[in-house]
Amino acid sequence: MSEVEIKHLSKSFGDMVVLDNISLNIREEENVVVFGRSGSGKSVLLKCIVRLMEPDSGDILIEGQNVKYLSNKKLNELRKYIGFLFQSAALYDSMSVRENLEFPLIRNFNFTPAEREKKIKDVLEKVSLEDSIDKMPAELSGGMKKRIGLARTIITEPRLILYDEPTTGLDPITSKEISQLIIELQKDLHTTSIIVTHDLICAKIIATHAVVLKDGKIRYEGNLEKLTSNDDPFLKDFFSNDIIDVKNGRI
């Protein structure tokens, strides 16, 4: 059974077609990495999946529920179990780490203060930042912010996680650490993941499946290693062998 089923999805902004009649099935506990040049519709796809943006046409089913027809109440109920990690980590600057992590628990669930405290400490332990619980976002490095953003994403125990450029702006070592943390958490929590990224090292660590968008359509769907050795001229240019050797993990 598909966790996420996208059927004939289209989205335009004026005369600009961003997504053009795309269909995609994502199965339970699968990690699908979405590639594409800037403006190819990757982030728009993520936003349409959780209806932060309304598509022009098509259907998106999550665990069998068509999000297009859900009432606001039912949509918000579904969103409780969908995590979304934004590019910037999107922490509230005026809140401490504790308050940032507590916010979705207070907003969406009826946990006691003691239950919330335990969940906060548990997720901070998972991302190895237990000592940062009372720090403010301004006191955190870029990598630490990503880890806290990831902690806030998983604190509600989502079944589906959407990642929008999870390693953007990080140095190669931190990027690899975040990628390895994502896959460890995915295995621990048994989540399904859709990851938009330009980072091939990140993709090599995470991906069970790869998709490439071009001109609003799916240009490639399948195995990552076959993708980077594909004879398609566009894919050869996009995944040039002098950028990365996917099989051996060399840059």
Domains of the chain and any CATH numbers? 1-81+160-251 (3.40.50.300), 91-157 (no CATH)
Tokens of 90: 């999107």
Tell me the sheet residues that pair with 7.
Answer: 59
Q: Is the pLDDT of residue 31 over 90?
A: yes
Mean pLDDT of all residues in 204-218? 92
Rounded distance, CA 241 to CA 251, Å? Answer: 9
Helices 97-108 and 113-126, packing angle to 10 deg: 130
Residues 163/85, Cβ–Cβ less than 8 Å: yes
* Predicted local confidence at residue 243, as pLDDT: 44
Mean pLDDT of all residues in 203-216? 91
Tell me the sheet residues that pair with 61.
Answer: 5, 66
Tokens of 205: 């660590």
Q: Is the pLDDT of residue 2 over 70?
A: no
Between 109 and 58, the higher pLDDT residue: 58
Mean pLDDT of all residues in 166-178? 87
Pairing of strands 217-222, 209-214: antiparallel
* Predicted local confidence at residue 160, as pLDDT: 94
pTM of the model: 0.87
Mean pLDDT of the chain: 88
Residue 144 three-state SS = helix
Cβ partners under 8 Å of residue 244, min gap 6: 200, 201, 204, 228, 250, 251
Residues 10/17, Cβ–Cβ less than 8 Å: yes
Mean pLDDT of all residues in 208-236? 87
DSSP 245: B
Confidence of residue 219 (pLDDT cuts 50, 70, 90): very high
Tokens of 203: 């993709």
Mean pLDDT of all residues in 132-158? 92
Exposure string for 207-216, b = 16+ CB within 10 A, e = fewer: bbbbbbbbeb
Q: Closest Cα to residue 97, out of 74, 68, 130, 48?
A: 130
pLDDT tens, 6-28?
A: 999 999 999 999 999 999 999 99
Rounded distance, CA 96 to CA 227, Å? Answer: 42
Q: Is the pLDDT of residue 201 over 60?
A: yes
Q: Is the pLDDT of residue 170 over 80?
A: yes
pLDDT tens, 66-117?
A: 999 999 999 988 998 899 887 766 788 999 999 999 999 998 888 999 999 9
The four Cα atoms 57, 28, 168, 90 give a dihedral, to 10 degrees, of 80
